[in-house]
Amino acid sequence: MAYDVEKPDEQWRAELSPAEYAVLRQAGTEPAFTGEYTHTTTPGTYACRACGAELFHSETKFASHCGWPSFHDPRHTDAVELIEDRSHGMVRTEVRCAGCGSHLGHVFEGEGYPTPTDQRYCINSISLTLSPESGED
């Protein structure tokens, strides 16, 4: 797939920290309960740390107690790309930023969380940047 933001690997390495690069560009996972947004309740918009595309809003974030930030829906239907992931001996659905193709996490369905979509977008904090709402309308 062609993305709006495409850069050579050397540029991604220069712009991202080694930990950010490992998750965003190599589909790694940050350790559970270590991410800066795991327990955050600040109102605002979560964007892709690699390209700045808006991905999720705090209104869809919920406490799943899984160790990573969880959302029940992306900010816009075309904000993320969903790809079948058969790594680690299981079948999951990988979530990538539709703007740059960076790995964000995975989405799970049917787990019984009381959300409108019955989905849990389990997203690495290191893949996100939170822009808090100013409180002004």
Residues acting as catalytic residues: 122
Rounded Cα distance between 6 and 20, Å, is: 17
Order of strands across the sheet that contains 44-48: 54-57, 44-48, 128-132
Place of tokens 């995975």: 106
Q: Which residues are bridge partners to 105 per DSSP?
A: 95, 123
